[in-house]
């Protein structure tokens, strides 16, 4: 179980730190619920691409509920990975992008239609 949790935290870190793609469930501004669709990253020179419906390392089936982002109108957000709460943070719009911050680690994202990347 510890190994599975470690893998889940690794995926969460990758999803937040690199280009993750989530689709909007709610309508309107950026505020709403976004669900996991895919993840592309390079780690140690190896390209990794994960999509909904695939298994990561043969252990974790990636569903759209694997990672769920809740973005609130009040400038806060939270992420749930594998139904486990992760650290909460704040967000702001800056220069046409959205900056999500947990602790002192800002990550920029763009909203294109109903997709957050």
Give the Cα separation of 39 and 49 in Å (integer): 6
Closest by CA to 60, choosing from 21, 12, 97, 17, is 12
Q: Which DSSP state fits 29?
A: S
Query: Which letter, b or e, does each residue of 87-116 get, where b requires 16 or more Cβ atoms within 10 Å of its Cβ?
Result: eebebeeeeeebebebeeeebebebeeeeb
pLDDT of residue 26: 43
b (16+ CB within 10 A) / e for 2-35: eeeeeebeebbebbbeeebbbbbeeeeebbbebb
Report pLDDT for 1.
52
Q: What is the pLDDT along the chain (117 residues), one digit of tens a residue?
A: 555 555 555 455 545 443 455 554 444 578 888 888 887 777 788 887 888 888 777 777 788 887 888 889 999 988 887 777 777 889 888 888 888 888 888 888 888 877 777
Place of tokens 């569903």: 63
């Amino acid at each position: 179980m510890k190994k599975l949790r470690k893998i889940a935290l690794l995926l969460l870190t990758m999803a937040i730190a690199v280009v993750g793609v989530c689709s909007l469930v709610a309508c309107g501004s950026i505020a709403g619920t976004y669900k996991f669709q895919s993840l592309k990253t390079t780690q140690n020179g190896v390209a990794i691409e994960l999509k909904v419906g695939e298994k990561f390392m043969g252990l974790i089936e990636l569903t759209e509920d694997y990672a769920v982002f809740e973005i609130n109108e009040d400038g806060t957000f939270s992420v749930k990975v594998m139904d486990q709460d992760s650290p909460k943070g704040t967000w702001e719009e800056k220069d046409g992008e959205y900056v999500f911050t947990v602790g002192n680690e800002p990550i920029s994202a763009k909203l294109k239609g109903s997709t957050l990347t």
